[in-house]
Amino acid sequence: MGTFAVLQLTGCAGCEVSLLNALETTDDQRPAYMPLIISSEDIPDVETLLVTGAVRTEHDLYRLRHAARKAQRIVAVGTCAISGGVANLGDRDDVREMFFRERSRRHVPPILPKLQPVDAIVPVTLYLPGCPPTPELFLAAIGVRTDLEPPKTVCLECGRKRTRDRPAKLRGFQERPPDPSICLINQGYLCVGSATRGGCGAPCTRAGHPCVGCRGPSDGFITRSSDVWFQAIKRVFARMTDIPEEAIDEAIRSPQLALFVFQFADYAGTPRDPSKVL
């Protein structure tokens, strides 16, 4: 196990919290640099650099290029670093207009014309998907765990039972709480776990919240376009429900899923080796 540092770019610090949870379980691993808990401006030479957040500002760009020279391997951590996350919404014209409408918000580092994932700037050795990645993934990235099995889909990890029920419309949580044992799709909820990368243990769907795709596409879709992912999701609903395809398509492209689903078009724009994604 070698040394590691954490570089936080534009994001929410959720990944750092998950990392701290992971470090609670081990006594022999501590970051050499992590601004959230260590007061230091200098990044030392390390074996592994964990990069969280996206390249949204000129300051992000400078810090990433500078830090990358200090590390032997770079790990893109979380949805933001891999393909945009929350910060990716800033590429939408309506969001930009709303942001700059307030003059006080202009006192921030200059924003780049387009958000970039980490691997568009520097070579990445490993990807930890999720919003945030689970503590187990962090332990694997820094060499504490070596027994992680290749992830499948969230659907296969969920454990809910499929039935022959075929709902005719999408259901909202305001109608009634979901049955705790039955597949959410069979109950009419918009769940995309069937095509979303597993490895998280399906905590959302087990608790009754439909999967929103925060871990990105499963292995079969990483090297393909987002439209192929959308079509796969719609085929699942066509097979298991009587909900019109137009309603599913509109729901998938709605703000409810825009945070995660839309960003994964970047997977097709930047070819990635599935074996490098935990």
- How many domains does the chain divide into? 2
Q: Are residues 250 and 126 in the same domain?
A: no
Q: Are residues 98 and 195 in the same domain?
A: no
Whether 95 has a pLDDT exceeding 70, the answer reads no
Q: Are residues 173 and 140 in the same domain?
A: no
Q: Are residues 179 and 264 in the same domain?
A: yes
Give the start-end residues of each E strand in the chain. Answer: 4-8, 46-52, 55-57, 71-77, 111-116, 126-128
Give the per-residue pLDDT at 94. Answer: 67
Give the per-residue pLDDT at 165. Answer: 94
Q: Are residues 111 and 218 in the same domain?
A: no
Distance CA 105, CA 102 (A): 6
Q: Are residues 255 and 168 in the same domain?
A: yes
The answer to whether residue 185 is domain-embedded is yes
Residue 30 backbone dihedrals phi, psi, to 5 degrees: -140, 140
The answer to whether residue 276 is domain-embedded is no
Give the per-residue pLDDT at 268. Answer: 43
Give the per-residue pLDDT at 25. Answer: 83
Q: Are residues 18 and 139 in the same domain?
A: yes
Domain boundary (124, 148, 172) is at: 148
Q: What is the tens place of the pLDDT at every residue in 146-194?
A: 777 766 899 999 999 999 999 999 988 777 789 999 999 999 999 999 9
Whether 263 has a pLDDT exceeding 60, the answer reads no
The answer to whether residue 242 is domain-embedded is yes
> And the tokens for 14?
């959720």
Q: Are residues 107 and 197 in the same domain?
A: no
Distance CA 179, CA 176 (A): 9
The answer to whether residue 73 is domain-embedded is yes
Domain boundary (99, 129, 148) is at: 148
Q: Are residues 15 and 134 in the same domain?
A: yes
The answer to whether residue 189 is domain-embedded is yes
> And the tokens for 180?
């705790």
The answer to whether residue 277 is domain-embedded is no
Q: Which pLDDT band holds residue 70 (cuts at 50, 70, 90)?
A: very high
Q: What CATH number should be reported for the domain holding residue 8?
A: 3.40.50.700
State which residues form the domain around 83: 4-148
Q: Are residues 89 and 215 in the same domain?
A: no
The answer to whether residue 274 is domain-embedded is no
Q: Are residues 159 and 137 in the same domain?
A: no
The answer to whether residue 167 is domain-embedded is yes
Q: What is the tens place of the pLDDT at every residue in 12-52?
A: 889 999 999 988 888 778 889 898 887 777 889 999 999 99
Name 50's bridge partners: 6, 75
Which span out of 185-194, 227-236, 263-272 was modeled with the highest average pLDDT?
Answer: 185-194
Q: Are residues 140 and 255 in the same domain?
A: no
Give yes or no for a contact between 194 and 236, defined as CB atoms under 8 angstroms apart: yes
Give the per-residue pLDDT at 26. Answer: 81
Domain boundary (148, 175, 192) is at: 148
